[in-house]
């Protein structure tokens, strides 16, 4: 006779959209995930709040909401308040990982390589000379709490740094880092285990928001053409980063590999993109996982949590 955990068969609801700079990409991700889950219901949110009808007795949620509301812990907090099981990192880990400065502190304490940064608020900007003296004249300035390379400035020389600082919104949180020279890479983590490493080769310029989500604007090499020993070091560090930031189920980490073999992690993304150009599916494919299999493995732990909660 089947136990209560086997009898409970919740409906999967894929949430996407919401209001942020990454709304359109989120909708594309959500549609792809829903198509991979037979019987799933796709909900494209038009506001940053949950539908009233969502409830723990009927539903399990797969949120694919990039940027604000999805990656900052808000939707996770609302789901937890209603007792609804959901896929991905919990509210605490999401709030931590959207903050790149706080995440880098955790990286350093865990022994994960991270480059120095200067963090500042938009209403208390450092001077351009101060930044260049501290970090060099080739700099990256980016929001400290946004994803998808939104608001990224790639700068060379004092004049460009001065001009960029003038453009920064006064109510934002920002960070500056020296510009890394080398190969940009990304790696998925599924159930705490590192997947394959993807190398990103933009056809021109840098891997910014437009390049990231425009089909054909970048070349992707997966698995990345690096030595097995280098791959093992990156995978071990990615797993350490995932564990130390309290992530669960899945995430994706981004890093730079310099010519001398040193690598530095930039951030960990708790709600990775799942579009046709996205990095998480490419990382999984290195281990032979199809998109459908990946999505099944991503939702699996949430279904287990839902059934356990229903049985208790």
Q: What is the C-alpha separation between 191 and 50, in angstroms, rounded?
A: 26
Active site residues: 22, 148, 213, 252, 254, 267, 269, 273
Bridging pattern class, strands 263-269 and 250-257: antiparallel
**Token pair listed for 220:** 């992707």
**Token pair listed for 161:** 């740094």
Name, in order, each residue with C-beta under 8 angstroms of 240's C-beta and a sequence gap of 6 or more: 110, 111, 112
Q: What is the C-alpha separation between 262 and 113, in angstroms, rounded?
A: 9
């Amino acid at each position: 006779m089947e136990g209560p955990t086997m009898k409970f068969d919740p409906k999967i609801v894929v949430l996407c959209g919401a209001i942020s700079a990454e709304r359109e990409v989120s909708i594309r991700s959500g549609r792809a995930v829903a198509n991979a889950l037979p019987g799933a219901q796709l909900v494209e949110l038009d506001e940053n709040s949950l539908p009233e009808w969502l409830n723990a007795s009927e539903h399990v949620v797969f949120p694919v909401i990039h940027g604000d509301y999805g990656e900052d812990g808000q939707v996770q907090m609302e789901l937890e308040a209603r007792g609804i099981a959901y896929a991905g990192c919990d509210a605490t880990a999401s709030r931590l990982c959207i903050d790149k400065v706080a995440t880098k502190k955790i990286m350093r304490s865990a022994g994960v390589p991270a480059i120095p940064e200067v963090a500042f608020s938009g209403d208390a900007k450092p001077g351009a000379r101060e930044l260049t003296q501290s970090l060099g004249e080739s700099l990256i300035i980016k929001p400290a709490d946004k994803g998808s390379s939104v608001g990224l400035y790639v700068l060379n020389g004092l004049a460009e740094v001065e001009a960029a600082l003038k453009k920064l919104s006064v109510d934002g949180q920002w960070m500056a880092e020296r510009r890394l020279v080398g190969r940009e890479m990304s790696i998925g983590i599924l159930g705490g285990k590192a997947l394959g490493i993807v190398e990103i080769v933009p056809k021109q310029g840098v891997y910014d928001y437009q390049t990231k989500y425009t089909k054909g604007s970048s070349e992707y090499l997966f698995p990345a053409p690096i030595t097995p020993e280098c791959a093992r070091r990156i995978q071990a560090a990615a797993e350490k980063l995932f564990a130390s930031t309290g992530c669960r189920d899945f995430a994706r980490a981004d890093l730079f590999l310099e010519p001398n073999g040193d690598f530095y992690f930039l951030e960990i993304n708790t709600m990775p993109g799942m579009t046709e150009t996205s990095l998480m599916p490419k990382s999984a494919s290195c281990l032979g996982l199809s998109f459908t299999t990946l999505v099944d493995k991503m939702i699996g732990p949430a279904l287990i949590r839902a059934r356990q909660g229903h049985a208790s």
